[in-house]
Amino acid sequence: MPDIQVKICGINSMTAADAVLQAGADYGGLVFFERSPRHLALEAGAKLADHMRGRLKLAALVVDAGDEELAAIAQNVKPDFFQLHGKETPARASEIRNRFGARVIKALTPDTMDAAASYDVDLLMFDTPAPRNAVRPGGHGAAFDWAMLNGKRFALPWFLAGGLNPENVARAIAASGAMMVDVSSGVESAPGVKSPARIAAFVAAARQKVSA
């Protein structure tokens, strides 16, 4: 059985980047959304991307971004993926995929997973719905019923996200059948402050072989 693929999102410092690389994660996420405590300015994001490039796959998280913003990120950060975490339609996701030279991860919630087949993207992500009146769509540290995904079949590989942490990720994998996991707030000591120890613990826990 292949290793679980691990994505650490919300990397916003060189210390965090080095911790992610040392832990052996497969994907690193950079957030370009001003309402997030993990938001990066373009120049800072470009420096972090250059530091990590070639050692993991880079995803630029955006939320209903316009063409100008996407073009600037594509030119300066050069991500491997755009992670679309807003209300992007299948048509918009396809447009982004075709126009900006990066593959696409589309985040959906359990109540919208039936729309997965409509998206011509590269990877899917299933995340917890944001609380009512939340200012950002993800990174809240809340989980959903992971068993909802067990036995589901999708045409594309998919990440499990939402409320994962070093203490529960093995159980989440066993319950959902996920082969790819994504974490942000679950490896932080405070909002937007990554913990190297929790990053290492998360990657190690995710790759344990656990039975449901």
When computed from its CA atoms, the radius of gyration of the chain, rounded to whole angstroms, is 16
132 vs 49, 106, 143, 172, CA distance in Å?
A: 33, 21, 15, 24
For residue 140, pLDDT over 70 is answered with: no
The reported pLDDT for the residue numbered 77 is 98
- Chain mean position to CA 204: 18
Q: Per residue in 3-60, pLDDT tens?
A: 899 999 999 999 999 999 999 999 999 999 999 999 999 999 999 999 999 999 999 9
CATH of domain 5-206: 3.20.20.70
For residue 141, pLDDT over 80 is answered with: no
The reported pLDDT for the residue numbered 177 is 94
The reported pLDDT for the residue numbered 212 is 41
What average pLDDT does range 144-165 have in this prediction? 92
Q: How many residues does the chain have?
A: 212
- pLDDT winner (highest mean) among 30-44, 116-130, 141-155, 197-211: 30-44
For residue 131, pLDDT over 60 is answered with: no
Q: Per residue in 100-129, pLDDT tens?
A: 989 999 999 988 888 999 999 999 999 987
Domain ranges of the chain: 5-206
Q: Which helix (H) or strand (E) holds 6?
A: strand 5-8
Q: Per residue in 65-88, pLDDT tens?
A: 999 999 999 999 999 999 999 999
Q: Which residues are CB-neighbours of 203 under 8 A, at least 6 positions away?
A: 6, 8, 23, 24, 25
Higher pLDDT, 1 or 177: 177
Q: What is the mean pLDDT of the chain?
A: 92
Residue type, 50: D
Determine what percent of the chain is predicted with pLDDT higher than 70: 92
Q: Per residue in 90-106, pLDDT tens?
A: 999 999 999 998 999 99
